[in-house]
Amino acid sequence: MTMLRQFLIAPSLARLIQRERGGERVVEGYFPDRPHHSIFVRVEEDRSSLILSPQGIEGSSEERTDIPLAQAQALLAVASGQVGYVRTSLLLGSRQIQLQQVTDPGPLCLLLVEIPQRESEAFQPLSWFGPEVSAERAYLRRRIALEGLPQAPEVALTEGALNSVLDLLENGFTAWSMPDQGAVPAEPGARSSAAASLPESLRAHDADEDADNLGIENDVIRELARSLRPQRR
């Protein structure tokens, strides 16, 4: 059995991760609460679904039924509230992490980490994770869609957090503190395999960005990031 832990993340780090690893746009429409479950419709780039979820839980316990896009769009039009976000998936060692950059009804950057229940007490967030909001219902996507964005605190961008993300993106390493476990290198070819699993439109977009050296704005972000690193003597 797994648990979902949720953290805030500095928006600049979220943008850097999404530019390097790509992302998928998702729109969800939510309907009024029921006593023991909730119903919502989800439209992804290659799939549309009607989802039944136990009240207050998102993710592992969902019952999902695929529906035609036209029906999903009709349901979105009559939903009580919507939330739109860009989803980027990462595999760090054995951990599944999902970055969600909420764009509608407003900007908010979240990290969801899937953790086996037996490891929940030993789990230590990485240095680039912001404050944990797992216990705060206001950060559930359902609550955001129906009630609006919570008053999220500003997440500071620290040098240690920036270095950790750059090490992950550039070298495929993450220093995740676990009992009897040090830094976990990514498997050879993991990044190329992950890219191959993206939709064709995203792969084409990534190829265009690579051809343009990721664009002027991305160059500026990366150069700024490197300039903040301490100089080795």
Identify the pLDDT of residue 96. 83
Residue 58 contacts residue 51 (beta carbons within 8 Å): no
CB 2, CB 117: distance < 8 Å = yes
CA 79 vs CA 25, 41, 42, 72, 74: distances in Å:
18, 8, 11, 10, 9
* 10-residue mean pLDDT series, the chain (233 residues): 89 94 96 84 96 67 92 96 96 85 96 86 88 94 94 90 87 52 39 41 44 46 50 48
What's the confidence (pLDDT) of residue 87?
97
pLDDT for the residue numbered 190: 39
What is the predicted pLDDT for the residue at 176?
A: 54
The structural domains of the chain, ordered by start, are 2-227 (2.40.320.10)
